[in-house]
Structure 1
Amino acid sequence: MQSRQSIMEMFSTFVQFDADRFSRWATESRLRRSIHSCLQQNPKEGSEYFWALYWYKFWQVPETQSLAKQHLSAYLQEPCYWTSQKTAASFVSTQYKLSDCFQVAIAQIDRVLKGFNPSQTSSLKNYAGIIFGSAIRETLRQRHEVDICTDWGLLRKISQKRLDEALQNAGLSLAEIPAYILAWSCFKTLYVPTKAANSRQLSRPDEATWEAITKAYNAQSTQPTNPPTLEKLLLNAAKATRKYLYPTPDSLNVARGGDDSPEILDNLPGTEQASLIQEIVSQEEEAARNSQQTEINNVLVAAIAQLESPMPEILSLYYTQQLNQEAIAQQLDMKQYTVSRRLTKAKEMLLKSVASWSQDKLHISLTSDILKGMSALIEDWLQNYYSASNT
């Protein structure tokens, strides 16, 4: 059981950064008054698990959703911070800082709340940690691929649809965008690398190619241009594409509104919500899930041991050394698509093992949402399992 002061801090304070370092916990006064009022109405409830479920239930009610989300955002600041720190450390070559990873993760609050199911997950913090870690890893992997692409490589990889979306996102008008699309189309058609070079190695087109691109552009445009202007146009398109694909996330750790703004709820949820309180209490008193987690761990370890070669090797290289599929293919002397298929098959077999155990032991009726949740849990388990085996 936590103290009243501890509960108040959990549900009303936010992480503040100074550059890339933790600076302090900032208190949002309106949230502090809110949780203080609730504690007064429920003086016997001193468990963070209880209050997490309490606000999760009120998040499901439209009239109280905004207030509840702010409280839960405060509550999840700590697991978000530690997950960000742990995940960022595993990507030693990334340019993303801890504060960047934190913002990527905390932006997933809605995804966390929509996917959380108290009857299937041990706690909101644990589930959030899984989602936070997955979001950061995916963002960093994708961002790394874009960061190592040259502008010319990126322009060859992007589709017209994504480029059009990126240009609109950059604030260009519908009248301006066609010139960029035409320039990009001429570039992609005429700039074909003559040697085997991937997107991270493509260099600026030579002068002859620029002349050809410009000639093709002028033949289709009512406003002729020259190579330098066309190059500037394409570089701006590449810049807009990078910004669109990986924008800087907005942080949720900034207090909303001032102290004098109207209270979201004048009559805060309290003891009058008897049935809701009883439901939360009953969920809090469910049997401990530690034994189930141990059994799931054993199931997954056994499933990995039964995988055919080279699937265990692929999993180890992917999660222990953080190698991408191309690098794994080179190391194991096989095709990249073979690595992709074996990696997918390995995860499917692990999911099948956990799903079968859940049906036999927990008598769970498997739905697509439950399977998605299991997949996320397995992904996090693999990260932890191979990280531990590497230490």
Structure 2
Amino acid sequence: MHPRNSIVKIFSTFLQFDADSFSGWATDARLRRSIQNCIDKNSQIINRSDELAEQENFWANYWYKIWLKKSARLAQSHLSAYLQETCYWIAHKTVQSFASNQYKLSDCFQVAIASIDKVLKGFNPERSSGFKAYAKAIFSSAIRDTLRQRHEVDICSTWGLLRKVSQKRLSESLINSGLSPEVVNNYIIAWNSFKKLYVPQPGKPTRQLQKPDPETLKAIAENYNLQVQSLQVQSLQVQSLQTQASQIQSQIDPQTLENWLLRSAVSVRNYLYPNITSANTPTGEGDTTEYLDYIRDEKDSFISQMIDKEEEENRKSQQSEVSGVLKAAIESLNQQTQEILVLYYSQGLTQQQIAQELQIKQYTISRRLTKAKEVLIRSLSQWSQENLHISVNSDLLKTNSTVIEEWLEQHYQQSRN
């Protein structure tokens, strides 16, 4: 993939795939006009650096501030364009870590870029080393979570999947498939009957659960019918339930029950494997109206620029202190754990590859990485409490976990360079 070499392209073009491979950059005409207009209007106050990375950071912060003030769709679109390469390389790294080709690069890319809202809402300039670094951590987490869910779906049989899925996920899946609320209620009652009566035998894995025998299907259907009858009796006593009860199918046979359960499983699989269409695809419209027509001039005053500069210096000072704290925490780890961190973050090896390199078990690698992150999180949380007077709670620990992940990526990347 060839990188983009100008600010206009970086903030107005989107990556395109062809047969799961990079095929080029597609330009959104409105975004191109927008960024060019901003460059022209702000030419007097922008520090014209020869470093493209510095210019990127300026415009990323510029659009993030606009989004923060107005939640403007224009700003979000520019930032989404800006993060295209970051998203691509995170997806590429994830796909390369799997021995098989079961996960496509384009799918992982779309899963990651779809989490742009989470990046925008979670980014905190005072706690992060940069917008792109934070997005990198969020994209990686989004892909891993999605693949973890899909892996569970892949290895489960139809009936095993129905045993493991939650009622909330099943309900979401059925609604997403286009079923009416009344029909969804029918399916949920049938599923609860299935869960109640078809219990795996002790010692046998739930994931590969086989189809219930005819007698069990008959018993499940009868249990469904009894539940519906009970609900109808309650509806006579409680008027508010009458409408709900009247909409539930009162009697079903084993074949109908089986069909409902099979459709439920299909809905869950489709829900976890959606057909993703990128929101970044250019429309190609000839509309001459620009987003900037609806946005006021965002030029900052000289005083505002001074305040921003002072805040930036404070952030850099804090980031330097945090970096020192985390480096000291790494040095406190044993030599083998430090070596594992280098192999994982600097050389990009998978846990399995590291295990082969060091001749130790893979689960040991996983535990060492987890333990190392816990040490760094405790160090960062203690520093935050002592210097920023932030109380340690679950939200802080969750935030610090994300910060640690992106810091490790950046720290070892710089070490390699």
Corresponding residue for 2:65? 57
Contact 2:87–2:139 (CA under 8 A) maintained in structure 1: yes
Contact 1:54–1:277 (CA under 8 A) maintained in structure 2: no
Contact 2:77–2:280 (CA under 8 A) maintained in structure 1: no
Verify: 1:129 aligned to 2:136, yes or no.
yes
If the length of structure 1 is used for normalisation, what is the TM-score? Answer: 0.78
Paired residues in the alignment total: 364
SS of the residue aligned with 2:179? Answer: coil
> In 2, Cα distance between the equivalents of 1:155 and 1:322?
35
Runs of 4+ with >6 A deviation = 330-333, 342-346, 382-387
Q: Which runs of 5+ in 1 are unaligned?
A: 324-329, 334-338
Corresponding residue for 1:366? 390
- Report the CA distance shift for 1:289/1:15 in structure 2 as closer, same or farther (over 3 A): farther
- Report the CA distance shift for 1:252/1:280 in structure 2 as closer, same or farther (over 3 A): farther
Contact 2:12–2:28 (CA under 8 A) maintained in structure 1: yes
Corresponding residue for 2:191? 184
User: Deviations for 1:345-386, whole angstroms, at most 9, x for unmatched residues?
Assistant: 7654431123334566xx333355554332113245678999
Corresponding residue for 1:235? 262
When structure 1 is superposed on structure 2, of 369-378 and 73-82 the one drifting more is 369-378
User: Deviations for 1:86-124, whole angstroms, at most 9, x for unmatched residues?
Assistant: 122223357331111111111111211222222332221
Contact 1:149–1:200 (CA under 8 A) maintained in structure 2: yes
Corresponding residue for 2:246? none
Contact 2:11–2:82 (CA under 8 A) maintained in structure 1: yes
SS of the residue aligned with 1:176? Answer: helix
1:172 counterpart (164, 179, 182): 179
Deviation of 1:291 after TM superposition, in Å, equals 5.7
Q: Which runs of 5+ in 2 are unaligned?
A: 49-54, 229-248, 355-360
Aligned residues with identical type, % of pairs: 50
Contact 2:200–2:206 (CA under 8 A) maintained in structure 1: no
Deviation of 1:209 after TM superposition, in Å, equals 2.1
When structure 1 is superposed on structure 2, of 79-88 and 114-123 the one drifting more is 114-123
Contact 2:173–2:268 (CA under 8 A) maintained in structure 1: yes
Instruction: Map 1:142-221 onto structure 2 (within 5 A).
Output: 142-220=149-227
SS of the residue aligned with 2:182? Answer: coil
Deviation of 1:237 after TM superposition, in Å, equals 0.5
1:305 counterpart (334, 342, 349): 334
> In 2, Cα distance between the equivalents of 1:376 and 1:277?
29
User: Deviations for 1:229-253, whole angstroms, at most 9, x for unmatched residues?
Assistant: 3222101011112333554445232
Deviation of 1:170 after TM superposition, in Å, equals 1.9
Deviation of 1:128 after TM superposition, in Å, equals 0.9
Corresponding residue for 1:327? none
Deviation of 1:224 after TM superposition, in Å, equals 3.8
Corresponding residue for 1:260? 287
Verify: 1:36 aligned to 2:36, yes or no.
yes
SS of the residue aligned with 2:291? Answer: coil
* Matched AA of 1:48: E
User: Deviations for 1:291-348, whole angstroms, at most 9, x for unmatched residues?
Assistant: 657535523423543999xxx9xx99xx72399xxxxxx9879xxxxx99x9977654
2:125 counterpart (93, 104, 118): 118
Contact 2:190–2:261 (CA under 8 A) maintained in structure 1: yes
User: Deviations for 1:36-77, whole angstroms, at most 9, x for unmatched residues?
Assistant: 111112224442111111111111222x72211111111111
User: Deviations for 1:170-209, whole angstroms, at most 9, x for unmatched residues?
Assistant: 2211221232123212221221222422232112122332
If the length of structure 2 is used for normalisation, what is the TM-score? Answer: 0.74
> In 2, Cα distance between the equivalents of 1:383 and 1:199?
37
